Amino acid sequence: MTISALEAAPIRTDWTREEIAALFDLPFTELVFRAAEVHRQHHAADEVQLCTLLSIKTGGCAEDCGYCSQSVHADSGVEATKLMDVRQVLQSAAQAKDAGSQRFCMGAAWRNPKQRDMGKIVEIVKGVRAMGMETCMTLGMLTREQADQLAEAGLDYYNHNIDTGPEYYERVISTRTMDDRLNTLGHVREAGINVCSGGIVGMGETRADRVGFVHTLATLERHPESVPVNALVPVKGTVLGDMLADTPLAKIDDIEFVRTVAVARICMPLAMVRLSAGRESMSEATQALAFMAGANSIFTGDKLLTAPNAGDDSDAALFQRLGLKAMQGEEPMRAAAQQGACRAESIPAE
């Protein structure tokens, strides 16, 4: 399938909350139709990017993110490990490559990387890149110097989620602020690394919070190249997992989840919108709607960081049923940036 010849709307970073709220309020079929149009203007709609995730340092994290099984503040039973050996990480990367993955994403349960860890991290980035895979790391908050070190090592992407809208943020995390997160995203951008930033829906937030979440990302000076949209995986022993177990009505419904994907697609047309955590418990029909609404990237394999994932066999079956195929080519935002078009386009007219 080719990318639509329809004239694309300009890329905007001046979205207002009212405009974004109005998109959420559209009749569902109209919203999905509009998102599908935007999707087709910039992406091949039958191609989905495959990414593999590996936890290179699990558990024992000092932050108190209310959703996370890896926080020391949670009673989730996840055991803390040390940073993995470089060789072990490279073995996993080789397996992911053999399984058809385009990108290898590595996560560490840290508030921020310590300087003594950076040597190993740099070696890992160089090793995975040498295998011909794209690299992504998520290590917590970074200083500008650390971002420069990662850029020099050749890191392609850095994932750092804003997680939710600014007003709901402090109900979920108290050990760092939304501004801390935005500062790290600024360091990553300035260092020249591609930005991956998204969040979680289904944490008991309101639709207004979801509007604030998309608004924060869509009004960054330049949109993130990747926007992961996670559905909360409720883990027993975490604040939010336990809250949802006690108040099942707080669980987000599938239609509202797909609406969030569609609005993200419309507001950030060039971004890769990743259907991330939560797919394991999502019906095939909901996932199909999310792909229709512009999601075009997934995590493959049977494990995320600590939570289960859909698994390669069920994904292969789903792709077959939906007529989807693994993306091979370059992402549109990176291609545009290389041609010098993206930055100019994304700055609103005075």
Interface ranges with ligand DTB (CB under 6 A): 53, 69, 105, 107, 138, 159, 161, 198, 228, 230, 233, 276-277, 304-307
Q: How far is the CB of 340 from ligand DTB (least distance, A)?
A: 29
For the chain, the C-alpha Rg in angstroms (whole number) is: 19
Cα–Cα distance between 298 and 100 in angstroms, integer? Answer: 13
For residue 265, the 8-state DSSP code is H
**Contacted by 71, from ligand SAM, ligand SF4, ligand DTB, none: CB < 5 to 8 Å by type:** ligand SF4
Measured between alpha carbons, how far is residue 40 from residues 255, 261, 323 in Å? Answer: 21, 15, 16
| 224 binds ligand SAM, rule: CB under 6 A | no
CB-nearer residue toward ligand SAM: 101 or 230: 230
Residue 343 burial by Cβ neighbours in a 10 Å radius (0-12, 13-18, 19+): exposed
Q: Which CB atom, from 15 or from 299, has the smaller least distance to ligand SF4?
A: 299
Of 62, 75, 76, 6, which Cα lies nearest the Cα of 34?
Answer: 6
Q: Active-site residue among 51, 136, 267, 342?
A: 136
- Known active-site residue 342: no
CB nearer to ligand DTB: give 125 or 233.
Answer: 233
Stretch that binds ligand SAM, among 39-47, 158-166, 211-219, 316-324 (CB under 6 A): 158-166
| 285 token code pair | 């029909």
Out of 105, 181, 267, 279, the active site residue is 105
d(CA 107, CA 342): 28
Residue 22: left if φ>0, alpha if ψ -120 to 50, beta else—which one? alpha
Nearest to 201 by CA among 131, 122, 256: 256
Using the contact rule CB under 6 A, the part of the chain among 68-76, 213-221, 242-250, 317-325 near ligand SF4 is: 68-76
| Cα–Cα distance, 60 to 328 (Å, whole number) | 36
DSSP letter string over 38-90?
HHHHHS-TTEEEEEEEEEEE-S-BS---TT-TTBTT--S-PPP-PPPPHHHHH
Catalytic residue flag (residue 136): yes
In the complex, the smallest distance separating the C-beta of residue 243 from ligand SAM, rounded to whole angstroms, is 12
Task: Please report which helix (H) or strand (E) contains residue 240, including its range.
Answer: helix 239-246
Asked if residue 161 binds ligand SAM (CB under 6 A), the reply is: yes
Contact mark string toward ligand SF4, 113..152, x via CB under 6 A: ---------------------------x------------
Interface residue with ligand SF4 among 48, 84, 109, 337 (CB under 6 A) is 109
Annotated catalytic residue, options 40, 103, 196, 265: 196
- For position 32 contacting ligand SF4 by CB under 6 A, the verdict is no
Distance in Å, CB of 308 to ligand DTB, minimum: 8
Residue 163 interacting partner from ligand SAM, ligand SF4, ligand DTB, none (CB closer than 5 to 8 Å by kind)? ligand SAM
Q: Is residue 267 flagged as an active site residue?
A: no
Residue 84 Cα to chain centre, angstroms: 23
By CB under 6 A, is residue 109 in contact with ligand SAM? yes
- Does residue 299 belong to the site contacting ligand SAM (CB under 6 A)? no
Based on the residue annotation, tell me whether 105 is a catalytic residue of this protein.
yes
Residue 249 phi, psi (nearest 5): -70, -20
Whichever of 218 and 342 has its CB closer to ligand SAM, that residue is 218
Residue 189 appears among annotated catalytic residues: no
344 half-sphere exposure, CB direction, 13 A CA radius: 5
Task: State the residues that interact with ligand SF4 by CB under 6 A.
Answer: 61, 63, 65, 68, 70-71, 109, 111, 140
